[in-house]
Amino acid sequence: MLEYFLWFKAFHVISMVCWYAGIFYLPRLFVYHAMSDDAPSQQRFGVMERKLYRGIMTPAMLATWGFALCMLIPNWQAYQSQVWLHIKIALVILLTIYHLSCGHFRLKLLQNAQYKSHVFWRWFNEIPVIILIAVVCLVIVKPQFGG
């Protein structure tokens, strides 16, 4: 059983890295999209955003969740009392909401490239960094809460 767990863990980390690559890059494309002022550039960014969101980010997100569940479900009794894991799951839910909001914003940008300013997208791009720092610290340190 341990061998399967380690395989699931490896693929969980690989899919998380792929998901985060897209999570970091898509809002950067939003910056460039918002700064573009000609139709060919806006169309090009729209295609790039769609391919990244649908072809890389969403499958990587689903794989991240899938491999996480493969590790959690068989071992839920052991994890049930681990507060750090509950916080991590809450943060990953927030990241999933961020991911879905990127999909929503992607469609809005197709309708109006200046929907939000490039400055907004630069700040928006910082949200997943904070989540990543918190999740990595929780997973590595596994802090004990409440004694």
Please give the Cα distance from 130 to 63 (Å, whole number): 22
- Report which residue type is found at 77: Q
Please give the Cα distance from 33 to 3 (Å, whole number): 45
Can you read off the two tokens belonging to residue 55?
Answer: 């072809």
- Answer yes or no: are the C-beta atoms of 46 and 33 closer than 8 Å: yes
Q: Is the pTM of this model over 0.75?
A: yes
The pLDDT tens digits along the chain (147 residues) read 678 999 999 999 999 999 999 999 999 999 999 999 999 999 999 999 999 999 999 999 999 999 999 999 988 888 888 999 999 999 999 999 999 999 999 999 999 988 899 999 999 999 999 999 999 999 999 998 875
